[in-house]
Structure 1
Amino acid sequence: MATMKDLRGKVAVVTGGAGGIGRAMGRRFGQEGMKVVLADVLVESLEQATRALADEGVEAVGVVTDVTDYSSVESLAKEAVSRFGAVDVVCNNAGTGAVSEGYMWEHDLADWRWGIDVNVLGVIHGIKAFVPVLLEQGEGHVVNTCSGNGGFAPIARGAMGGPATAVYPMTKAAVLCLTESLYTHLEMTGTRVRAHVLFPGGFLNTGIWESWRHRPQQYAATQERHTPDQTLERVVARFESAGAHVEFTPLETVADQVVEGIRADSFWMMGPPAASDQVVSKKAASILARGEPDYLVDVLGTHAGTASETEGGKR
């Protein structure tokens, strides 16, 4: 069992650390007296986030990192050890959101490649670069950011009314499987290095809703787009037009989950029971009964039914 109760003086590395959940985790780690390494591909945002930590008295460094490139992640690990002498917590948090449109057979192959390279290979690269460091030290924690959208079951109808992207939930299902496998492999070695999967619950105000704004040229779209790019403002507007109140989960709450999960050595880093838990129960019942996947819901949490011919749906 891991015994990292006191985090003061420990070192945390957070990918996707320039904003959203990653930045919140970095700040929370700093409040615990940890030294923080923020990694991100967004240079200006990374500088701002690192400077903000320093202004709060946190010993922090920002390292420009492209998680799709293993050599870049490997350099991140070397920089962290060189700067602070150790790494105790690694958060594979960098991610990209939904940019594809239409049905999954209509998705741009570039969308698939981008999602897989960031959300799946990014985690694999983090595991390969950092776990040997943690094993050599004899203890540590790896936290992989997942999502109920894919980790539990894919959302069937998206925020704009048509079929939801298949890219994002597929990658998050892979993250859960990777973390379960990592947990088992670490257990087999008898190490005190631990694996955790983070499920940030609720509706989050992060840049992942508008990932298209930072799409790298190497993953440029190869198909003409037929619907407007998604924005958080349009998503919230659709919720409200459907009579659903949008209440954002504070990112600080998610960061608290991580710190509490490390101290408690919890594999599942999740909030209190929520409506989404019903999807897990219904999915298990469907599997055991060899039934239909009647647990699939739309982004509003209602049964998906037949996709409407609206934006993102049939064209």
Structure 2
Amino acid sequence: MRDLRGKVAVVTGGAGGIGRAMGRRFGQEGMKVVLADVLAEPLDEATRVLTDEGIEALGVVTDVTDYSSVESLAKQVVAHFGAVHVVCNNAGTGGVSEGYMWEHDLADWRWGIDVNVLGVIHGIKAFVPILLEQGDGHVVNTCSGNGGFAPLARGAMGGPATAVYPMTKAAVLCLTESLYTHLEMTGTGVRAHVLFPGGFLNTGIWESWRHRPQQYAATQERRTPAQTLDKVLDRFESAGVHVEFTPLETVADQVLEGIRADSFWMMGLPAPSDQVVSAKAASILARGAPDYLVDVLGKHAESSSETEGGKP
């Protein structure tokens, strides 16, 4: 699918961050864009901005944790535009847990799994049959090197990184690999892709706790303050690391180019983080210890009394 003009793209998590950037980029290519998000006001604003730019856009409030909501999204897209050609399962929530994984609130696990994993499954189940009936189309699932490559050992604030987020992203990679195989078996023109947004991204996922739904309300009292992007940047600065954000437009370009090139792996240029993949493969083949695990600063993990609410 090289000529995208007039085609229809659906992006979950479309009210901000990567999703909003993808929606805008698709629209600039002449596509009709459907932004879906659980946050109604930001969604309305994002849709209005695209419309003001001359992009034919539709905003649909959608809760990806609820299959009936995603199914309704699919029906509304087809009813409004008559077809769908690109589906980006992009909605996600970041890590909100503190301490070691056995200390994580069960509500954190449920929230992460329901959004990051079931949200992708719901998107596949609701949209792939439509794409198969058409005979072509693309499914793009947003992953992360944190989990897709290997889990970060130490988090942005210095303590043990949440186990919830990387576990869900490892699942997204496995889901997408399986989807690719299943589609290949049918002989269809529908294609599967996995997106690894590279670099450091300035998105709301760092502060997902600000939009935590009541149904996933924490059941444990926090011992440490909730993470903010400013605090994360302060830690990088104190470690002597200068942060340069990857433009979200670059990620959106990556998706567009990946669709046109029919690339399963939607990844940026080779980066230092790629070394984790080689090191992990070497560890597996040598039946060795997982010494490829690093912290968010790219340093190898080691024992330390510095924790995010965990007891050393």
Q: Shared fold (TM-score greater than 0.5)?
A: yes
1:221 aligns with 2:218: yes
| Corresponding residue of 2:128 | 131
| Corresponding residue of 1:275 | 272
| Corresponding residue of 1:18 | 15
CA contact (8 A) 1:186 1:193 kept: yes
1:231 aligns with 2:235: no
| Corresponding residue of 1:35 | 32
Alpha-carbon distance between aligned partners in 1 of 2:178 and 2:302, rounded to the nearest angstrom: 34
Per-residue Cα deviation, 1:197-234 (whole angstroms, up to 9, x for no partner):
00000000000000000000000000010000000000
Alpha-carbon distance between aligned partners in 2 of 1:310 and 1:114, rounded to the nearest angstrom: 23
1:261 aligns with 2:295: no
Shift of 1:307: 3.7
CA contact (8 A) 2:160 2:308 kept: no
Per-residue Cα deviation, 1:53-88 (whole angstroms, up to 9, x for no partner):
000000000000000000000000000000000000
1:65 aligns with 2:62: yes
Per-residue Cα deviation, 1:72-122 (whole angstroms, up to 9, x for no partner):
000000000000000000000000001000000000000000000000000
Shift of 1:311: 3.4
| Corresponding residue of 1:50 | 47
Shift of 1:306: 1.2
Alpha-carbon distance between aligned partners in 1 of 2:251 and 2:302, rounded to the nearest angstrom: 31
Alpha-carbon distance between aligned partners in 1 of 2:25 and 2:311, rounded to the nearest angstrom: 44
Shift of 1:161: 0.6
1:114 aligns with 2:99: no
Count matched residues: 312
Q: What one-letter code is carried by the residue in structure 2 that aligns with 1:213?
A: R
| Corresponding residue of 2:77 | 80
Q: What one-letter code is carried by the residue in structure 1 that aligns with 2:34?
A: V
Q: Percent identity?
A: 88
Alpha-carbon distance between aligned partners in 2 of 1:267 and 1:312, rounded to the nearest angstrom: 38
1:309 aligns with 2:301: no
Q: What one-letter code is carried by the residue in structure 1 that aligns with 2:190?
A: V
Residue from 167, 171, 180 that aligns with 2:168: 171
1:157 aligns with 2:154: yes
Distance change in 2, residues 1:307/1:182 (3 Å)? farther
Alpha-carbon distance between aligned partners in 2 of 1:10 and 1:307, rounded to the nearest angstrom: 52
Q: CA RMSD in A?
A: 0.7
Residue from 281, 285, 290 that aligns with 2:282: 285
Alpha-carbon distance between aligned partners in 2 of 1:240 and 1:36, rounded to the nearest angstrom: 38
Residue from 209, 220, 229 that aligns with 2:206: 209
Per-residue Cα deviation, 1:244-264 (whole angstroms, up to 9, x for no partner):
001000000000000000000
CA contact (8 A) 1:161 1:307 kept: no
Per-residue Cα deviation, 1:120-173 (whole angstroms, up to 9, x for no partner):
000000000000000000000000000000000000000111100000000000
Alpha-carbon distance between aligned partners in 2 of 1:314 and 1:80, rounded to the nearest angstrom: 49
Alpha-carbon distance between aligned partners in 1 of 2:282 and 2:188, rounded to the nearest angstrom: 35
Q: What residue ranges of structure 2 are gaps of 5+ in the alignment?
A: none
Counterpart secondary structure, 2:9: strand
Alpha-carbon distance between aligned partners in 1 of 2:140 and 2:274, rounded to the nearest angstrom: 21
Per-residue Cα deviation, 1:280-301 (whole angstroms, up to 9, x for no partner):
0000000000000000000000
Shift of 1:44: 0.3
